[in-house]
């Protein structure tokens, strides 16, 4: 059991942190015997209450003066630590220590340790040079800059805390963010922005298509980013375009339900625009006119019903829901009316979002949101692969977005070759295998059609996820599984055995079970260092 001592203003973020690191804990109660005391900032406690004391703080603390901790430097905001050779960004202030020991946590620039250890009798006191809970709060609210997108920072904070406990003789019990029998969750999603090219006549979308299909494909061949087969497919589509407008040829964008063939029975989620011809608003006024979709959900009702019949999920691709709950209610209700589904999730068009959006979307009635991600790159905006509850929300969960096709391939963004894109994606999948959670993918509706022709790459991505041990789930199923995990509670039995009882409020709705994972201290006499047991 971890006893946590912190300022009351940090209690909300602490509660969410321990939903992500699902391990026994409670707010500190005097007179209790804890395995671990975790303190953030200048707080008082009886240092004999635990065999391991962890003190986080990114500035000089009273503890440092009292215990003569050898502080080397109090740094400015935004530094980068190295944790076992992995970059760990710190967005608040940090402290390094003047000690000679080699440390697995140090400042990347100066090389000085960001951790200080003092042992006496059976107690270890470890001083860590940043404020854990302020870092978590920053990640779950402001998020990370794109330069650090590839780093699962929040998941690394959890790993560091777990490692400190195990390395200092504490048995760690947790419910990992991994469905029993799998290694992580793969969530395939599709934003439906341009479901039919016949909706676009003599506008920027049509001219953009022709330029990219005719000239862009040729340039891609010359620079090794495209094949002759793709070039010929795009030229054929460009020649067919007049006949599409005349109704004499099939609309090659309107076949976006072909994703059900590419995915071979793996159900995915489609986010559809509720109302067309409305660019929506920004905080400063009207959004750019090109944000307006040329369709509304009712215009593609036949495709929506076909997707639902195939077992796919259909959610809302919101316009103004992120800044106005009344607009959000209308947008969600339109998708409810069309699908007959009560619980509707949402992702904002163009990923419009700010710090107030979670509460606005919750008031609008969204079951979950999946907007938090990057337009320009791939990775971890919130620093995690887990679904989390935004601070202040009551029920809404945020399912972070990690991989988006346009971020990978658009010249204005990463502009990667297929080989470079695979390398980026494999890093994210490797992190998912290591930390668990979900890899959430957004492959746009038209991305398997001309002129993008990214269907083959997408099929290879699915094979990569399958080969890595993923459970494939819709966004709604993914969020439901995380709700299931969050329902688990640890309760102290209250006798002298120091035993913990695991209580669940799990529903048997066909989702994989969660599991209990036990990390035994190094050198313990148990049969293995890591044990798991399913909780049904």
pLDDT at 101 over 80: no
Please name the residue that has the structure tokens 């779950």: 140
513 belongs to a structural domain: no
Quick check: is 176 in a domain?
Answer: no
Determine the Cα–Cα distance for residues 51 and 98; give it in Å rounded to an integer.
Answer: 24
Mean pLDDT over 505-524 rounds to: 81
Residue 529 falls inside a structural domain: no
Q: Is 197 helix (H, G, I), strand (E, B) or coil?
A: helix
% of the chain with per-residue pLDDT over 90: 82
Residue 516 lies in a domain: no
Residues 259 and 395 in one domain: yes
Is residue 480 pLDDT above 70, yes or no?
yes
| pLDDT per residue as tens digits for the range 219-273 | 999 988 889 999 999 999 999 999 999 999 999 999 999 999 999 999 999 999 9
The reported pLDDT for the residue numbered 497 is 47
Q: Is residue 284 over pLDDT 50?
A: yes
pLDDT tops 90 at residue 508: no
Q: Do 159 and 192 share a structural domain? A: no
Please tell me the pTM assigned to this model: 0.94
201 prior amide bond cis, ω within 30:
no
> For the chain, how many structural domains are there in total?
2
Shared domain for 119 and 191, answered yes or no, is no
In a domain, 209, yes or no: no
Residues 326 and 456 in one domain: yes
In a domain, 447, yes or no: yes
Separate counts of helices (H) and strands (E) for the chain: 15, 27
Sign of the four-CA dihedral 96, 100, 101, 107: positive
Distance CA 26, CA 38 (A): 10
Q: Is residue 117 part of a domain?
A: yes
Is the pLDDT at 184 greater than 50? The verdict is: yes
Determine the 3-state secondary structure of 378 from DSSP.
coil
Instruction: For residues 156 and 192, state if they share a domain.
Output: no
- Which CATH number goes with the domain that contains 329? 3.20.20.370
Q: Are residues 407 and 455 in the same domain?
A: yes
Domain that holds residue 128: 2-165
Q: Which residues of 393-405 are buried (b: 16+ CB within 10 A; e: fewer)?
A: beebbbbbbbbbb
**Is the pLDDT score of 527 beyond 50?**
no
Domain co-membership, 298 together with 375: yes
Domain match, 414 and 284 both: yes
133 and 192 share one domain: no
Assess whether 462 and 350 both reside in one domain.
Answer: yes
Same domain flag for 460 and 316: yes
Together in a domain, 191 and 108: no
Residue 496 located in a structural domain? no
Terminal C-alpha separation, the chain: 23
Average the pLDDT over 406-428 and give the result. Answer: 97
CATH label of the domain that carries residue 29: 3.40.50
For residue 100, is pLDDT > 90? no
């Amino acid at each position: 059991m971890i006893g946590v001592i912190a300022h009351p203003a940090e209690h909300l973020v602490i509660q969410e942190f321990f939903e992500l690191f699902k391990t026994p804990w409670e707010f500190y109660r005097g007179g209790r015997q804890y395995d671990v005391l975790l303190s953030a900032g200048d707080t008082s406690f009886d240092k004999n209450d635990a065999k391991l004391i962890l003190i986080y703080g990114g500035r000089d603390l009273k503890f440092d003066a009292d215990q003569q901790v050898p502080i080397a430097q109090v740094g400015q905001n935004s530094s980068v630590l190295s944790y076992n050779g992995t970059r760990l960004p710190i967005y608040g202030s940090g402290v390094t220590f003047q000690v000679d020991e080699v440390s697995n946590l140090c400042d990347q620039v100066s090389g000085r340790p960001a951790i200080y250890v003092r042992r006496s009798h059976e107690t270890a006191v470890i001083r860590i040079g940043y404020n854990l809970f302020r870092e978590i709060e920053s990640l779950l609210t402001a998020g990370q800059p794109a330069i650090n997108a590839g780093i699962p920072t929040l998941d690394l904070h959890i790993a560091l805390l777990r490692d400190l406990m195990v390395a200092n003789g504490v048995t760690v019990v947790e419910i990992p963010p991994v469905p029993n029998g799998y290694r992580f969750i793969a969530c395939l999603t599709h934003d439906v922005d341009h479901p039919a090219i016949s909706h676009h006549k003599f506008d920027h979308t049509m001219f953009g298509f022709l330029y990219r299909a005719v000239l862009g494909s040729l340039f891609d061949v010359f620079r090794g980013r495209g094949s002759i087969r793709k070039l010929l497919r795009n030229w054929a589509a460009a020649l067919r375009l007049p006949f599409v407008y005349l109704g004499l040829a099939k609309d090659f964008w309107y076949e976006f339900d072909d994703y059900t063939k590419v995915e071979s029975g793996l159900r995915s989620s489609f986010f559809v625009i509720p109302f067309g011809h409305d660019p929506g608003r920004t905080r400063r006024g009207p959004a750019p006119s090109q944000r307006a979709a040329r369709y509304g959900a009712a215009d593609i009702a036949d495709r929506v019903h076909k997707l639902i019949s195939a077992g796919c999920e259909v959610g809302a691709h919101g316009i103004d829901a992120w800044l106005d709950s009344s607009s959000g209610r209308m947008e969600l209700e339109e998708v409810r009316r069309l699908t007959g589904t009560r619980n509707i999730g949402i992702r904002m068009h163009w990923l419009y979002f700010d710090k107030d959006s979670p509460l606005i979307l919750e008031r609008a009635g969204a079951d979950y949101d999946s907007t938090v991600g990057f337009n320009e790159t791939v990775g971890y905006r919130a620093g995690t692969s887990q679904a989390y509850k935004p601070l202040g929300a009551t029920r809404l969960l945020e399912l972070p977005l990690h991989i988006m096709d346009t971020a990978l391939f658009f010249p204005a963004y990463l502009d990667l070759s297929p080989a470079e894109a695979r390398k980026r994606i494999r890093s994210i999948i490797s992190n998912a295998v290591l930390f668990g959670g979900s890899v959430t993918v957004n492959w746009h509706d038209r991305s398997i059609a001309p002129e993008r022709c990214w269907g083959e790459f997408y099929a290879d991505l699915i094979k990569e996820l399958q080969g890595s041990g993923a459970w494939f789930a819709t966004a709604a199923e993914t969020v439901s599984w995380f709700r299931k995990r969050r329902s688990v509670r640890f309760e102290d039995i209250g006798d002298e055995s120091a035993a913990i009882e695991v209580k669940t409020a799990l529903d048997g709705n066909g989702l994989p079970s969660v599991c209990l994972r036990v990390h035994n201290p190094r050198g313990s006499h148990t049969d293995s260092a890591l044990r798991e047991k399913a909780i049904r």
